[in-house]
Amino acid sequence: MKWKKGIAAVVSLLFSASLLTACSGGGDKKTSANPAPADAWVIGGNFELSGGQATFGKAAVNGAQLVFDEVNAKGGINGKQIKFVALDNKSEATESTNVASKLINQEKAVAILGCTTSGDTLGMVQLAMDKKIPVLSTSATNPKVTVDEKTNKTNDYIFRACFIDPFQGTVMANFSLNNLNKKTAAVLTDNQAPYAKGLAQFYKEAFTKKGGQIVADEGYVTGDQDFKAILTKIRATNPDVLYVPGYYEEVGKIVKQARELGMNIPVMGGDGWDSPKLVEIAGAGALNNTFFSNHYSSEDKDPIVQDFVKKYKEKYNEVPDSMAVLGYDGALILVDALKRAGEPNAEKIKEALAATKDVQTVTGKISYDEFHNPIKAAAIIEMKDGKQTFKDKVQP
């Protein structure tokens, strides 16, 4: 009698199994309709197309698509077209694993581009390592992405198109001490973003090591609207500068509300600030006396940059932000490696990626160090009346 109810469980399990086979049947049909992997290079895209970071993912896909379209228009690589399959990971790490698995197993991708955030990229790192499929993240700046935490060894198959958090944090700490001549700083971190926490940590380390003092260390979470309470608390400690390594949406509100509270000190941050939306949210006036480190500036007069901005504007009718430019750069680096690999073989692509040297991208000439991090300069941008202007360029 006791076992009787178990029947139901088994029926259901059988049911699920049959559903699953039905599912796999459908899947097979679908893949057979696509060109066989031998006819094209299948590049997977694992991006945030919905959810909290949807704007990042979309911009990066737009940027990457531009490269692949160009390559295909010129006849592809070794006569083979590139098929770019970008799927949605809902801005979730678990879903990112799922998407990567689908790209590798179903779409037979030979390499994966993405994700834009460190958290989501970390979701597929281990899977890609196990499956031996190279991953090139467009903008995961957390050092942990390419280096195994426990063994401190480089993750063979993981690469990125951006510089890393320690560099960005240190650059801004030096900038506040040396260029702005400020001695005390308050840090306000997006505690839900590993990216922001990384930046904050390295900023604080560099700042205190060189004689500065951190007078306030506060946090918020992504999606917060009201920062006046935290800012009032920070205001009471009288800092010389405020460092806010977060994403533009919250940063815009923070700068706006800080100015409303009469805090006119310099506010600084990282590449998460780079979006035309920042000015819209905070207002041009409030953003005076703010600085951030970035991968590039759309105002840069460099012809390579301007050429890219023009192309991007033509196709998508908007100014590319740093996510878009890194999507573009990531695709450029990948295409360069594909050309050198010569055939759609994950192992060879990985070798080629690791050997990347002096590839001309919009954000500079890219070469990888031993940890698969590109060695490139950071731009420090000052906001003046709502316009991004070059303040400084810092070499590593």
The answer to whether residues 245 and 217 touch, using CB atoms and an 8 Å cutoff, is: no
Q: Residues in contact with another protein, total (CB under 8 A)?
A: 87
If the CB atoms of residues 211 and 262 are measured against another protein, the closer one turns out to be 262
Distances (CA, A) of 3 to 12, 112, 251, 361: 15, 47, 59, 65
* Residues in 1-20 that interact with another protein by CB under 8 A: 1-17, 19-20
Question: Token match 């990888």: residue?
Answer: 368
For 393, phi then psi, to 5°, come to -125, 125
Q: Is 51 exposed, middle or buried (0-12, 13-18, 19+ CB in 10 A)?
A: middle
The answer to whether residues 323 and 116 touch, using CB atoms and an 8 Å cutoff, is: yes
The answer to whether residues 144 and 122 touch, using CB atoms and an 8 Å cutoff, is: yes
Question: Token match 């899947």: residue?
Answer: 27
d(C-alpha 317, C-alpha 4), whole Å: 64
If the CB atoms of residues 200 and 349 are measured against another protein, the closer one turns out to be 200
For residue 158, the cross-strand partners are 135
d(C-alpha 333, C-alpha 111), whole Å: 12
If the CB atoms of residues 140 and 337 are measured against another protein, the closer one turns out to be 140
If the CB atoms of residues 208 and 232 are measured against another protein, the closer one turns out to be 232
Q: Is 306 exposed, middle or buried (0-12, 13-18, 19+ CB in 10 A)?
A: middle
* Residues in 234-273 that interact with another protein by CB under 8 A: 236, 249, 252-253, 256, 260-262
* Residues in 113-132 that interact with another protein by CB under 8 A: 118-119, 122-123, 125-127, 130-131
* Residues in 21-50 that interact with another protein by CB under 8 A: 23-24, 26-27, 49-50
Bridge pairing between strands 184-190 and 213-220: parallel
Quick check: 283 binds another protein (CB under 8 A)? yes
If the CB atoms of residues 91 and 356 are measured against another protein, the closer one turns out to be 91
Judged by CB under 8 A, the stretch of 68-76, 90-98, 302-310, 332-340 that binds another protein is 90-98
* Residues in 129-168 that interact with another protein by CB under 8 A: 130-131, 142, 144, 148-150
ω before 115 within 30° of 0 (cis)?
yes
* Residues in 214-233 that interact with another protein by CB under 8 A: 218-221, 223, 225-226, 228-230, 232-233
If the CB atoms of residues 275 and 363 are measured against another protein, the closer one turns out to be 275
* Residues in 170-209 that interact with another protein by CB under 8 A: 191-194, 197
Least distance to another protein, CB of residue 43, Å = 16
If the CB atoms of residues 218 and 392 are measured against another protein, the closer one turns out to be 218
For 281, phi then psi, to 5°, come to -75, -50
Least distance to another protein, CB of residue 84, Å = 14
